[in-house]
């Protein structure tokens, strides 16, 4: 079976079991009759592959598929409270399900219009997942935008993270023993070593990402951030929170105040600026000053535009 088809299988298995518990023959029939399997000309799906897929789904999406064994021998997804579902795994799962829905019907291009920007570097996605799951050392060349330099890296891969249509490898750089983020679009000459590594317990990625916004400095402490939003913009923020820690502090006749527990990174500042006059930061003072300085520099660029002629 094609190695690049595994994500499609995962999404289909999850979709079937979200509907109701199912036996292996029922799952096999569902997969083989799906448009995805038919388009890929796949005509068999063994119980051994199902058992392997179930283990991989548990590792990738952080939830378990169980088998009742006694009685009807059906597989089912363990139900959990919504708040326990990991934010990043849920995003990943939703993305795969959308991708499969679009790819299953070529004529959907007539009435489905996704973003035209596609993430670069994802040709290494499978190899990176393999290295992460099997704890294999990675070696690659990494291009740095800031000084246009290329450096050789040897890392212990820990996770993959998406931010603003870009994917990043979160890995321990063996040169200085620091956790870093490497853009997949800037990775080349990737080699998966046969040598393995042991995870360092001092790095708890769930804790690191808990207060993350975008790709941030993983060692910074979170702060309480308060923003004031117009009523209209607040409806968008309520339906699609900026961060999982978002809470409503208070509402007035014209405004809604939201609080966040995160470290205000460059990515977060850019996000706030994208809302223009619909959103204003009221706390902390240090973040207010950073935003004011950014806005001053932006205005200055336009004031100096005459000199560019």
Domain range list for the chain = 3-107, 122-199, 223-303
Q: What is the pLDDT of residue 160?
A: 86
Least confident of 13-22, 24-33, 215-224, 283-292: 215-224
Q: ∠275-276-278 over CA atoms, to 5°?
A: 70
Mean pLDDT of 174-202: 89
Distance CA 149, CA 128 (A): 23
Q: What is the pLDDT of residue 97?
A: 57
Q: Kindly indicate the confidence band of residue 96, based on its pLDDT and cuts at 50, 70 and 90.
A: low
Query: What share of the chain has pLDDT > 90, as a percent?
Result: 39
CATH 1.10.3470 describes domain 3-107:
no
Q: Kindly indicate the confidence band of residue 105, based on its pLDDT and cuts at 50, 70 and 90.
A: low
Least confident of 26-35, 86-95, 152-161, 274-283: 86-95
Q: Answer whether residue 159 shows pLDDT above 70.
A: yes
Q: Average pLDDT over the chain, rounded to whole? A: 82
Distance CA 246, CA 229 (A): 13
Query: What share of the chain has pLDDT > 70, as a percent?
Result: 79
- Decide whether 3-107 matches 122-199 in CATH topology: no
Three-class SS state of 256:
strand
Distance CA 45, CA 22 (A): 15
Q: Answer whether residue 293 shows pLDDT above 80.
A: yes
CATH of domain 122-199: 2.30.30
Distance CA 169, CA 145 (A): 16
Mean pLDDT of 245-250: 94
Q: Kindly indicate the confidence band of residue 84, based on its pLDDT and cuts at 50, 70 and 90.
A: very low
Q: Kindly indicate the confidence band of residue 257, based on its pLDDT and cuts at 50, 70 and 90.
A: very high
Q: What is the pLDDT of residue 83?
A: 38
Q: What is the pLDDT of residue 126?
A: 76
Q: What is the pLDDT of residue 81?
A: 44
Mean pLDDT of 2-13: 75
Q: What is the pLDDT of residue 125?
A: 81
145: tokens are: 């935008």
Mean pLDDT of 150-167: 87
Q: What is the pLDDT of residue 25?
A: 93
Q: Answer whether residue 243 shows pLDDT above 80.
A: yes
Q: What are phi and psi of 225, to 5 degrees?
A: -115, 135
Q: What is the pLDDT of residue 200?
A: 78
pLDDT tens for residues 49-80? 999 999 888 877 667 888 876 666 889 887 65
Q: Answer whether residue 137 shows pLDDT above 90.
A: yes
DSSP-assigned letter for residue 294? H
**What is the 3 state secondary structure string of 43-97?**
CCCCHHHHHHHHHHHHHHHCCCEEECCCCCCCEEECCCCHHHCCHHHHHHHHHHH
Least confident of 98-112, 118-132, 242-256: 98-112
CATH of domain 223-303: 3.30.70
């Amino acid at each position: 079976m094609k190695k690049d088809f595994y994500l499609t299988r995962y999404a289909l298995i999850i979709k079937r079991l979200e509907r109701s518990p199912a036996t292996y023959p029922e799952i096999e029939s569902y997969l083989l009759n799906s448009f995805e399997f038919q388009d890929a000309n796949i005509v068999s799906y063994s119980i051994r592959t199902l058992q392997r897929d179930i283990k991989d789904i548990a590792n990738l999406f952080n939830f378990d598929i169980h088998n009742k064994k006694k009685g009807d021998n059906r597989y089912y997804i363990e139900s959990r409270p919504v708040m326990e579902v990991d934010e990043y795994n849920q995003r990943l799962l939703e993305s795969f399900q959308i991708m499969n829905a679009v790819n299953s019907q070529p004529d959907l291009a007539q009435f489905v219009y996704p973003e035209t920007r596609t993430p670069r570097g994802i040709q290494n996605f499978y190899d990176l997942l393999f290295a992460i799951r099997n704890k294999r050392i990675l070696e690659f060349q990494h291009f740095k935008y800031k000084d246009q330099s290329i450096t050789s890296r040897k890392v212990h891969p820990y996770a993959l993270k998406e931010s603003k249509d870009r994917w990043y490898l979160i890995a321990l750089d063996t040169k200085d023993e620091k956790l870093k983020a490497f853009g997949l679009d800037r990775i080349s000459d990737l080699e998966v070593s046969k040598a393995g590594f042991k995870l360092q317990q001092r790095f708890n990625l769930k804790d690191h990402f808990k207060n993350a916004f975008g790709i941030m400095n993983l060692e910074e402490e979170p702060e309480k951030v308060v923003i004031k939003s117009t009523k209209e913009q607040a409806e968008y923020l309520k339906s699609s929170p900026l961060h999982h820690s978002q809470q409503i502090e208070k509402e007035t006749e014209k405004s809604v105040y939201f609080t966040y527990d995160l470290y205000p990174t460059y990515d977060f500042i850019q996000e706030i600026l994208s809302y223009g006059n619909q959103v204003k930061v009221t706390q902390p003072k240090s973040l207010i000053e950073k935003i004011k300085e950014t806005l001053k520099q932006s205005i200055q660029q336009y004031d100096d535009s005459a000199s560019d002629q």
